[in-house]
């Protein structure tokens, strides 16, 4: 049996949507971390590969015989401005496998050297962003949020030149596909309706099979993709994730979170939270994410119009009607997520207000979002102490009255304390990749060659909902001087 049972449908079925591209060799590949569990899920048979053999493959120095390396073409609206040609400038798809659940998954190297789409870039990745993507994408998965996965991180032994000289790395990303809104835009912008149609058919077959049987398959594709985005953004909002660079080339049509560049997690609750150093106008601020998702989906809709109906006005009307369902869908999913955070089982009219009151209280007192929600569980201890939670807030009276309203609401569900507590503990992570911890791991690795903080952080975050007394320090919000207020792409 071959170690990499690739079956490369993108290469086979979508000629003209990609260009062949080989990884360039690096000097001294060293394995940083390999995700054995994921490799197993993917059906890779790597038992005979030692760390060096894995490093050679996942640095791009050795190619599996079945690999068919390619760079995908895509365009994208970056901060609202259209770039007709982006493409995989520092990523190469090695191939696709069918995983143990029968799902097709892409295995892609990030940082393996220049491709035909590299423009002026070096096609390389610095170690820091490689570690960040490993940490955050694996956490997202552990937290139950659809995301691309981390299979491997490798040090190249070469330097890359950014603002300063950095150690180079290669990251291996696994995705249910790398089809982006920008992939559709690339061909639509060229007026290549046939390519858009082939891509849409491929996307339906890979991600939205039910759409094939709809009266209007491409409209159904759009609606299904929109629904998944509404779910996704609601889920990531609920844990305080700020994507940071929701350009249309960074939105996967599959509904997985993709691209962990200048992403961050809110500490205290703040709808305007913005971390990305390259986002001067707050386009991708925390509370703007659903609006941007809808804006990006409008760009996807535009590419599908010619496929939906020969009568352009009719097609536009159809997609617009679907597009306009986004805010309501998002809000419904957001409320569903927030109800879980409060330990609620059913949906009742006053829930939105109850949730909003709590968020307002958190915002007023700049209270750590993750700590506060997790502390709610303690209020349901048999003794019924509200102390840990209440102690966070300045206005005791207001807090008590909110807690009373919340307890009454739980009672309406007929849930006992232990069950409500279980819902809360399963919905509110104790551990998130706090920005200062990510920064600490990157600094240790880049500046001292010390990868221990990175490994420890990945290990802690693998079980975000479990209390881990020995790792309690990772729950603690940053001290004022530790707070990270800006994140950088650093790619
Ligand atoms: P991103 O910031 O990851 O969304 O990337 C935007 C575009 O820039 C994509 O087309 C990338 O492939 C390209 N890009 C980013 N960094 C590099 C690099 N170091 N070399 C070549 N292309 C790059
Ligand atoms: Mg990107």
pLDDT digits over 2-28, tens only? 899 999 999 999 999 999 999 999 999
Tokens linked to 160:
């890359």
Express each pLDDT in 254-313 by its tens digit: 999 999 999 999 999 999 999 888 888 899 999 999 999 999 999 999 999 999 999 999
Residue 488 — very low, low, confident or very high, per pLDDT cuts 50/70/90?
confident
Q: Closest Cα partner for 461 from 434, 442, 489, 490?
A: 434
From the CA of 194, how far away is ligand 1's center (Å)? 27
Query: pTM of this prediction?
Result: 0.97
Q: What is the 3-state secondary structure (H, E, C) of the chain?
A: CCCCCCCCHHHHHCCCCEEECCCCCCCCCEEEEECHHHHHHCCCCCCCCCHHHHHHHHCCCCCCCCCCCEEECCCEEECCEEECCCCCCCEEEEEEEECCCCCEEEEEEECECCCCCCCCCCCEEEHHHHHHHHHHHHHHHHCCCCECEEEEEEEEEEEEECCCEEEEEEEEEEECCCCEHHHHHHHHHCCCHHHHHHHHHHHHHHHCHHHHHCCCHHHHHHHHHHHHHHHHHHHHHHCCEECCCCCHHHCECCCCECCCCCCEECCECCCCCCCECCCCCCCCCHHHHHHHHHHHHHHHHHHHHHHHCCCHHHHHHHHHHHHCCHHHHHHHHHHHHHHHHCCCCCCCCCHHHHHHHHHHHHHHCCCEHHHHHHHHHHHHCCCCCCHHHHCCCCCHHHHHHHHHHHHHHHHHHCCCHHHHHHHHHHHCCCCCCCHHHHHHHHHHHHHHCCCHHHHHHHHHHCCCCCCCHHHHHHHCCCCHHHCCCCECCCC
When pLDDT is averaged across residues 36-53 and rounded to a whole number, the result is 97
Q: Which two tokens stand for residue 320?
A: 């617009």
89: Cβ below 6 Å to ligand 1?
yes
pLDDT digits (tens, 9 = 90+) for 192-221: 999 999 999 999 999 999 999 999 999 999
How far does the centroid of ligand 1 lie from the alpha carbon of residue 212, in Å?
33
User: What's the pLDDT at 276?
Assistant: 85
Query: Has residue 489 got a pLDDT over 80?
Result: no
Which ligand 1 atom is the nearest neighbour of the CA of 87? 10
Is the beta carbon of 122 within 6 A of some atom in ligand 1?
A: yes
Q: Which of 49, 246, 18, 264 is nearest to 135 (CA)?
A: 264
Q: How many alpha carbons lie under 13 Å from residue 134 in its C-beta half-sphere?
A: 32
Residue range 83-107, pLDDT digits in tens: 999 999 999 999 999 999 999 999 9
pLDDT of residue 15: 97
Within 10 Å of residue 274's Cβ, how many Cβ atoms? 24
Determine the pLDDT at residue 485.
84
pLDDT, average across residues 124-129: 98
Angle between helix 435-448 and helix 452-461 axes, rounded to 10 deg = 150
- Cβ(491) to ligand 1 under 6 A? yes
N- to C-terminal Cα distance for the chain? 37
pLDDT at 1 over 70: no
Asked if residue 33 has pLDDT above 70, the reply is yes
Taking the centre of ligand 1 as the mean of its atom positions, its distance from the CA of residue 369, in whole angstroms, is: 32
**What pLDDT score does 487 carry?**
81
CA–CA distance, 436 with 38 (Å, rounded to integer): 27
Of 114-123, 321-330, 373-382, where does mean pLDDT reach its minimum? Answer: 373-382
Q: Which residues face 72 on adjacent strands?
A: 18
Ligand 2 centroid – CA 89 distance (Å): 9
| Residue with CA nearest ligand 1 atom 11 | 89
Q: Annotated active-site positions, please?
A: 249
pLDDT digits (tens, 9 = 90+) for 443-472: 999 999 999 999 999 999 999 999 999 999
62-84 pLDDT, tens digit per residue, is: 999 999 999 999 999 999 999 99
Decide whether any atom of ligand 1 lies within 6 Å of the 124 Cβ. yes
Distance CA 220, CA 308 (A): 10
């Amino acid at each position: 049996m071959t170690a990499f049972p690739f079956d490369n449908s993108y290469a086979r079925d979508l000629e003209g949507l990609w260009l062949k591209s080989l990884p360039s060799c690096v000097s001294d590949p060293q394995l940083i971390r390999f995700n054995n569990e994921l490799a197993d899920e993917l059906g890779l048979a790597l038992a005979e590969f030692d760390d060096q053999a894995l490093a050679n493959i996942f640095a791009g120095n050795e190619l599996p015989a079945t690999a068919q390396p390619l760079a995908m073409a895509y365009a994208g609206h970056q901060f609202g401005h259209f770039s007709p040609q982006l493409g995989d400038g520092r990523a190469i798809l090695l191939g696709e496998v069918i995983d143990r659940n029968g799902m097709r998954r892409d295995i892609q190297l990030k940082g393996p050297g220049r491709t035909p789409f590299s423009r002026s870039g070096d096609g390389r990745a610095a170690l820091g962003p490689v570690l960040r993507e490993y940490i955050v994408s694996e956490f997202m998965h552990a937290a139950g949020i659809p995301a691309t996965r981390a299979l491997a991180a490798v040090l190249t032994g070469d330097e890359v030149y950014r603002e300063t000289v950095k150690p180079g790395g290669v990251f291996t990303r696994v995705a249910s596909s790398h089809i982006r809104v920008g992939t559709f835009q690339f061909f639509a912008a060229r007026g290549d309706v046939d390519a858009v149609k082939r891509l849409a058919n491929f996307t339906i077959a890979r991600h939205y099979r039910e759409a094939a049987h709809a009266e209007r398959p491409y409209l159904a594709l759009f609606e299904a993709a929109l629904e998944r985005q509404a779910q996704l953004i609601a889920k990531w909002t609920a844990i305080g994730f700020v994507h940071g660079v929701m350009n249309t080339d960074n939105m996967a049509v599959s509904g997985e979170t993709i691209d962990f560049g200048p992403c961050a997690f809110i500490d205290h609750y703040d709808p305007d939270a913005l971390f990305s150093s390259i986002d001067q106008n707050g386009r991708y601020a925390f509370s703007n994410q659903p609006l941007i998702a809808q804006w990006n989906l409008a760009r996807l809709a535009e590419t599908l119009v010619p496929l939906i109906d020969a009568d352009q006005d009719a097609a536009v009307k159809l997609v617009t009607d679907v597009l306009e369902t986004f805010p309501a869908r998002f809000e419904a999913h957001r409320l569903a997520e927030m109800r879980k955070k409060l330990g609620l089982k059913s949906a009742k009219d006053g829930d939105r207000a109850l949730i909003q009151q709590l968020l307002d209280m958190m915002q007023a007192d700049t209270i750590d979002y993750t700590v506060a929600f997790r502390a709610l569980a303690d209020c349901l201890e048999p003794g019924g102490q509200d102390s840990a939670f209440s102690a966070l807030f300045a206005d005791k009276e207001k807090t008590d009255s909110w807690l009373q309203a919340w307890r009454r609401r739980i009672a309406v569900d007929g849930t006992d304390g232990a069950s409500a507590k279980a819902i809360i503990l399963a919905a509110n992570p104790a551990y998130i990749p706090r920005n200062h911890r990510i920064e600490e791991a990157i600094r240790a690795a880049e500046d001292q060659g010390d990868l221990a903080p990175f490994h420890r952080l990945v290990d802690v975050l693998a079980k975000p909902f479990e209390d881990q007394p020995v790792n309690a320090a990772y729950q603690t919000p940053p001290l004022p001087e530790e707070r990270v207020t800006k994140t950088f792409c650093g790619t």
